[in-house]
Structure 1
Amino acid sequence: MSIAAQARARAEAAAQKKAEDEASAASAAMAKRRPAKIKPALRPAPSVPDINPNRVSPAAQRRRFLIASSAGAVLAASGIAIDIDGDNDDTPLSPDAQKVVFQLQQDRRRLKEFKATERKVEAKIDMLPAYRGWCDGVLAAGQGERGPLDQIFTTIMAWTIDVGDYMTALPMLEHAVKYKLEMPSGFNRDPITFAIDQVCEEAIRVYDLGGDAAKAFEAGVLPMLQDLVDEHDIDLHDEVEAKLFKAIGRAIMAGADIENEDDLRQRREETLKSYQRALELHERCGVKKDIEKLTRELKKAAGVTEPADQNTPPPAGG
């Protein structure tokens, strides 16, 4: 290799080494200015205990009451519909409101495990105390603003009716009627229609059975339902209203004192009016024979003789 070629090779090697040194220095300087991000250590999420509807502490009840009754705090985002069968991951509810929603989801899944109506009723009796504080808070607030938890409230109202706790359900029903709350999906009736149907069907059933079941029925709920209908001028289906009048008639006669003629007469008269109104509303409500019987009994008590049947042959001997 000539002296000139050797000199050129040394110059190229020196230039390459200088370039490498400069690149290394630049990289080190860059690292000092922007240090690499360090990922934080991952910590396991705390386990969430399962909700037990049978154990609700007084503190939890009070907390739910305050959440529900404080102004505007029943909902964290008013007007967002809640699907209690859905995930609701994007719904900004308060922690206690979320507990109510998720607990109801869990309880509804439990109810699907039962086939017999009696077992479902027994399960609802165990479940309902967990919601009492929250529902009381809603009633105490008296808020007319509709929101995403309305259907939760009417679901609990329906369960309360299902288990026969009618006096507890009445204030809930009036709240639902006053603020025009809707029943949850799966119900094809509004709150007042559902309540009258359920309560009156049970009343008619137990009064027809008689005995202890009839004595145990809270008869006072029937005129209260009628007052609620009248006070809010509710437009009921004729069949539903007829059922209410029929049940009221059954309740009036169930309390009759057969040894007291005045009491018995008054009850028969009032029952007859209820049955006649029921028949006017719905011809097939099942009170025609009751009306005939009461009419005969009232005439007999008044000393009115029934006209003889013209087709009946005269007694022998004239």
Structure 2
Amino acid sequence: MATNSMREHREKMLAQKAIKQAQSQDPRLKKKATFLGMDLAAGESTTAVNAVVKTETGVENIELRMFNHLNQLKDTRSIQEKIAKKKEWLPEYRGYIEGCLAVSPAEQNNTLVYLMIWAVDAGEYELAVRIAEYAILNEMTMPDGYTRGIAEFVTEQSATDFIDDQELAVANADLIQRIVELGVGEQMVDEVRAKIFRALGDALFEAQPAEALTAYKNALRLNVKAGCKKQVTQLEKLLNRQANESSPDATVGSQADASADPSAGGSVPASTDTNAAAPTAEANTSAE
């Protein structure tokens, strides 16, 4: 009996909470409710309000949907649960996003910027960058409560994920380059810009070592604690070795040095010198 009583109490509290959310002072809710004679104070649910909006306009009101979703996120304490909800909800807004991106110039659109934030959190990096490029082009800003600008937010959040997962970085190498370009001319602290250069270096490490080295050096120039000094050393050794191996002059010089035996004061037969030099070369390779 006690268990049933507790369950009933919880259900009652949840019902009251839903009614309280429906009684929000958001002007869009009040306008829609008044228009069709609905009294939110009498306990009409948010679902009913959505139905009213759909009846009035023929389509669901995106801003109202976003308002309700943001309220749910505010009441969710778990970061992982918040991310799961954003992943679940994001597809509902795809048509709206594509419609917005097709029209430019455009005014400030907080709903679209919130969707950009969700896209980053949900791992939809390409979508987030597309929205960010559009928002910056149209001089939009982050919603109230955010201290970072659009470029800085997308750069830092995505760079952190790429640095934590090198395979993810490799798979998104071209996109990371777009994020680097996204920040050109935008206000951003050096440490954040260093992060995206570090991520670019990780993405190019195997396939394009010279470009990766440049990216790592840019990261360290911006922040000496970028965490890629070891990678710089590795790539410099690799590139120096490749340069030596591909240089004809280096090869000729090496053979000339090997043909002389200073201790004997004269020449050593070529066959004897070749056999003596081979173990040394193998030792140097294994040491690296």
TM-score tier (shorter): 0.5 to 0.7
- Structure 2 regions of 5+ residues with no counterpart? 1-35, 251-288
For residues 283 and 214 of structure 1, do their structure 2 counterparts lie closer, same or farther at Cα, with a shift above 3 Å needed? closer
Any conservation in 2 of the 1:276–1:291 contact (CA below 8 Å)? Answer: yes
Query: Which residue in 2 is equivalent to 1:289?
Result: 230
| Paired AA for residue 103 in structure 1 | R
Alignment of 1:1-318 (within 5 A): 45=38, 50-51=46-47, 99-146=61-108, 150-207=109-166, 210=167, 217-230=171-184, 233-253=185-205, 256=207, 267-303=208-244
| Contact 1:51 1:103 survives alignment (8 Å) | no
Normalized per residue, the structure richer in helix is 2
Structure 1 residues 164, 114: closer, same or farther in 2, change over 3 A?
Answer: same
Structure possessing the higher relative contact order (Cα contacts under 8 Å, 6 or more residues apart): 1
State the alpha-carbon separation in 1 of the partners of residues 134 and 192 from structure 2: 20
Q: For 2:132 and 2:37, how far apart are their aligned partners in 1?
A: 45
Separation of aligned partners in 2, 1:102 and 1:202: 31
The AA in structure 2 aligned to 1:177 is I
TM-score by length of 2: 0.61
CA contact (8 A) 1:157 1:169 kept: yes
Instruction: Quote the Cα distance in structure 2 between the aligned partners of 1:288 and 1:44.
Output: 66
SS state at 1:220 partner: helix
**3-state SS, counterpart of residue 165 of structure 2:** helix
Amino acid at match of 2:189: H
| Corresponding letter in the other structure for 2:165 | V
Partners in 2 of 1:239 and 1:63 — Cα distance?
Answer: 48
Q: Displacement, 1:133?
A: 2.4
Change (3 A) 1:140 1:302: closer
Which position in structure 2 is the counterpart of 1:313? none
Letter in 2 for 1:169: A
1:233-282 per-position Cα deviation (integer Å, ceiling 9, x unaligned): 3343222221111111100125x3xxxxxxxxxx2211111111111112
User: Compared with structure 1, are the counterparts of its residues 193 and 214 closer, same or farther at alpha carbon in structure 2 (3 Å cutoff)?
Assistant: closer
CA distance in 2, matches of 1:159, 1:44: 34
Deviations 1:32-81 (A, max 9, x none): xxxxxxxxxxx9849966449xx99xx99x966xxxxxxxxxxxxxxxxx
Give yes or no for contact 2:213–2:235 (8 Å, CA) kept in 1.
yes
> How many residue pairs are counted as aligned between the two chains?
204
Counterpart for residue 33 of structure 2: none
Work out whether residues 128 and 160 of structure 1, in 8 Å CA contact, stay in contact via their aligned partners in 2.
yes
Q: Alpha carbon RMSD of aligned pairs, Å?
A: 3.2
Residue 171 of structure 1 aligns with an amino acid whose one-letter code is R
Distance 1:272 1:237, change over 3 A: same
Unaligned residue ranges in structure 1 (runs of 5+): 1-42, 65-95, 257-266, 306-318
- Partners of 1:248 and 1:151 in 2: how far apart? 30
Which aligned segments of 4 or more residues in structure 1 are displaced greater than 6 angstroms?
Answer: 46-49
SS at match of 1:122: helix
Q: State the AA in 1 paired with 2:115.
A: I
Tell me if the contact between 1:151 and 1:183 (Cα under 8 Å) persists in the aligned partners: yes
Q: Which secondary structure does the structure 2 equivalent of 1:286 belong to?
A: coil
- Larger Rg belongs to: 1
